[in-house]
Amino acid sequence: MSRHRIHLAPGRVERVDRLLAASLPEFTRRRLQGLIAAGLVRIDGRHARKGDVLRGERWIEVELLASVQVELPPEPEPAVDVLFEDAACIVLDKPPGRPGHALRSGERGTVANFIVARYPECVAAGDTPLEAGLVHRLDTDTSGALLAARNRPAWQVLRRQFRSRTVGKTYVAVVRGALRRGGEISRWIEPDPRNHRKVRVAPGDDASRRARPAITRYSPLSWTRAATLLEIEISTGVMHQIRAHLASIAHPVLGDTRYGGDSDEAGRHLLHARRIEFDHPENGERIEVESPLPQDFAAALRRLGLRTELAKH
CATH of the domain at 39: 3.10.290.10
- What is the domain count for the chain? 3
Kindly report the CATH number assigned to the domain that includes residue 100: 3.30.2350.10
Residue in 247, 253, 251 with CA at minimum distance from that of residue 266: 253
305 and 202: one domain?
yes
117 and 36: one domain?
no
Indicate whether 73 belongs to any domain: no
Residue in 49, 115, 56 with CA at minimum distance from that of residue 81: 115
With the C-alpha atoms ordered 38, 41, 43, 46, is the resulting torsion angle positive or negative?
Answer: positive
149 and 202: one domain?
no
Please report, in tens digits, the pLDDT of each residue of the chain (313 residues total): 467 788 777 778 888 888 888 888 767 776 777 778 777 888 877 888 777 888 877 788 887 654 456 678 999 999 999 999 999 999 999 999 999 999 888 899 999 999 999 999 999 898 888 899 999 999 999 999 999 999 999 999 999 999 999 999 999 999 999 999 999 999 999 988 888 889 999 886 666 777 889 999 999 999 999 999 999 999 898 999 999 999 999 999 999 999 998 888 889 999 999 999 999 999 999 999 999 999 999 999 999 999 766 644 3
165: left (phi over 0), alpha (psi -120 to 50) or beta: left
**DSSP character at residue 134:** B
158 and 175: one domain?
no
Report the predicted TM-score, pTM, of the whole model to 2 decimal places.
0.79
177 and 303: one domain?
yes
179 and 151: one domain?
no
Cα–Cα distances in Å, from 285 out to 181, 237, 277, 281, 282?
A: 34, 23, 10, 8, 8
**Active site residue ranges:** 139
Would you state the torsion angle of the CA atoms of residues 9, 14, 18, 22, taken in this order, to the nearest 10 degrees?
-20
203 and 299: one domain?
yes
Residue 183 domain boundaries: 169-274+295-312
Beta-strand relationship, 286-290 and 271-279: antiparallel
- Cβ(19)–Cβ(58) under 8 Å? no
Indicate whether 283 belongs to any domain: no
- Cβ(224)–Cβ(234) under 8 Å? no
Among 129, 145, 164, give the residue marking a domain's end.
164
Indicate whether 22 belongs to any domain: yes
300 and 201: one domain?
yes
Among 164, 184, 216, give the residue marking a domain's end.
164
Helix residue spans in the chain (DSSP H): 16-23, 29-37, 111-118, 152-163, 241-248, 295-304
Taking the C-alpha atoms of residue 205 and residue 186, their distance in angstroms, rounded to an integer, is 14
Taking the C-alpha atoms of residue 82 and residue 148, their distance in angstroms, rounded to an integer, is 11
